[in-house]
Structure 1
């Protein structure tokens, strides 16, 4: 069984006991969260597609920890002009463990 769930404007395909990384959530670590914007649920041969969401469907998850992603280097250059600019950032992420998918 899997579900397509919308978390923070992004869509993720999740199964029970999966670990996913999403944009930073406001809740503390070790907290339990639930997401009700479930767009699709598939249970073997039975597929339920929401319009836009599946009614009374929920995804329960636990926040494992907050962390930063890998460094992304942004390098800008204009040839023959002597212009070079190097910049970088690390995205703030939250690690989630999916506990259950309920319909």
Structure 2
């Protein structure tokens, strides 16, 4: 299981996050997703800790806390939902102009 951290400052680093969460236990991994186009951090991240007790302590202490000028949103991460396979982006029938024709 992992912890979701939202409303992060775009200036936050993995080292910053590790330092804050280490106060509540052993940090196994920090992941800060970046935008594919710009390379800029997306404002959220994930932390894995050594035990559920440590995760719970961190969530209780940090959810709603002000850090780097922002109020953090910290909770248990939800499992990622599978994405559907791409189908070209068009929905329903029809031709290129978007209208269906019945003959």
TM-score by length of 2: 0.27
Higher-Rg member (1/2): 2
Larger strand proportion, structure 1 or 2?
Answer: 1
TM-score by length of 1: 0.27
Larger helix proportion, structure 1 or 2?
Answer: 2
